[in-house]
Amino acid sequence: MASVTEPDPAWAATAPLWRAVQAFRLVTLLYAVGQQFASVPHYTNQRLSWALIAVMAVWSGISAVLLSQWRIRHEPRVRTAVVIGDHLVVIALIFATRLVAPFDWYHGHQTLPTTLWAANAVVSAAILWGPFGGIGSGLLVSAAVITARAQWDFDVWRDATLPVLISVGLALGLASNTARRAHAQLQRAIRLTAAAQERERLARQVHDGVLQVLSYIKRRGTEIGGPTAELAQRAGEQEVALRVLISEQGEPADVGGVGEDLRPLLTAQTTPSVFVSTPGDPVLLGHWAAREVAAAVAAALANVVQHAGAGAKAYVLLEDMGDELIVSVRDDGPGIAPGRLAEAEGQGRMGVSRSIVGRIAALGGTAHLLFEAAPADGSPDEGAGAEWEFRIPLDRRQ
């Protein structure tokens, strides 16, 4: 036999079907041999009929072995050749009935290879080529049986051969396609799980080394100031980029091709001074909407870094209320003086109005600064902080 190799995953999906139909082949062979014992007294050439039954038995054994093997070289080609050979043997044996029996016999009885055994070719074609291949094979074998028995008259519509073979081909073809789709989904799930586990392993290693160093450089560079401030800024940018790389999924969570999970986009912004809390279940938005919300949160966190000081901490909370999303960004810095945002906008500084409020408004939502903390004398109150609240409506019907 040919050299051993690993089974093709695409073909392995239908392995249970191929093995099951070989048991069916054995049962149909036993039925055909039993039918031979009952019919041979009516044959005119009994020796030839037994020789043809021997051919049927030998071919059944060869085809059963080849179709059930999964570790042979060029397996798809071998299986295709066997299925084609199955049809040739079946059709040849069907027409050979005329050589062993008189017209009166084969016109009103089963052919030498019984209809049940001939169905093996239809079953194999259905598994190999799907429902269309199964139906085509059923039509071909049925046409051979009807022609060999000379039944091209009204009797053909009272015979069960045609509808039975076509039904078998259709049913097994659909089953094989379903098995292939299920196998493909299983393989994809296995790959995604393996990728997620590998990302988690790399994330732990990177967090214990590179991210901590980048965070330290950013913090110390900001504290020292001067020329090292640019180094701190670059280190902070690379820290964020690296966190995005190890936090985002390999593929966005997708529902109907238009949904993306907002959670990884927010958790990617986690740093030693930024804490993100999200629900346990996916929070799905359109791809553009999810990116806009994440960008608004990033802009709010950038303001915390710029105005609240190096030691300030920020907290991001994502809540799915069913009909709307609520995203809160709170810090423990000195807060924002009353009227400061309006003053900045009047001076032409559009960072908050465009990067935060404008993005959320474009999604049909609202962005509110819940409080602007400062004492009556106007001096900053250390630790008062500020909190943004974004509310984005959801339409679950979409």
Task: List the domain boundaries for the chain.
Answer: 9-185, 256-398
Residue 370 confidence (pLDDT):
75
Q: Could you tell me the CA-to-CA distances from 2 to 5, 63, 72, 128 in Å, in that order?
A: 9, 15, 6, 21
The torsion angle over the Cα atoms of residues 70, 76, 81 and 87, rounded to 10 degrees, is 80
Distance CA 43, CA 49 (A): 8
pLDDT by residue, tens only, the chain of 398 residues: 444 445 565 567 787 888 888 899 999 999 989 988 988 888 989 999 999 999 999 999 999 888 887 666 667 788 889 999 999 999 999 999 899 988 888 887 888 888 889 999 999 999 988 899 989 999 999 888 888 888 776 555 566 778 888 888 888 888 888 888 888 888 888 887 887 777 677 766 665 567 677 777 877 777 777 777 777 777 776 776 666 666 554 444 444 445 788 888 888 888 778 888 888 888 888 888 888 898 888 888 877 777 776 678 889 999 988 888 999 998 887 776 665 565 655 544 445 556 788 888 888 898 888 765 444 454 544 456 788 899 999 875 44
Backbone angles phi, psi at 160, to 5 degrees: -85, -5
Q: Return the number of other C-beta atoms located less than 10 Å from residue 203's C-beta.
A: 16
Task: Give the DSSP letter of residue 40.
Answer: G
Residue 254 confidence (pLDDT):
42
As given in the structure block, the two tokens for residue 331 are 């810090």
Q: What is the pTM of this model?
A: 0.53
Nearest to 367 by CA among 312, 293, 298, 282: 293
Q: Per CATH, which fold does 256-398 belong to? A: Heat Shock Protein 90 (3.30.565)
Return the residue matching tokens 């169905």: 119
Three-state secondary structure readout of 120-171:
HHHHHHHHHHHHHHHHHHHHHHHHHHHHHCCCCCHHHHHCCHHHHHHHHHHH
Q: How many CA atoms lie within 13 A of 187 on its CB side?
A: 12
Helix %, strand %, coil % for the chain, to 5? 65, 10, 25
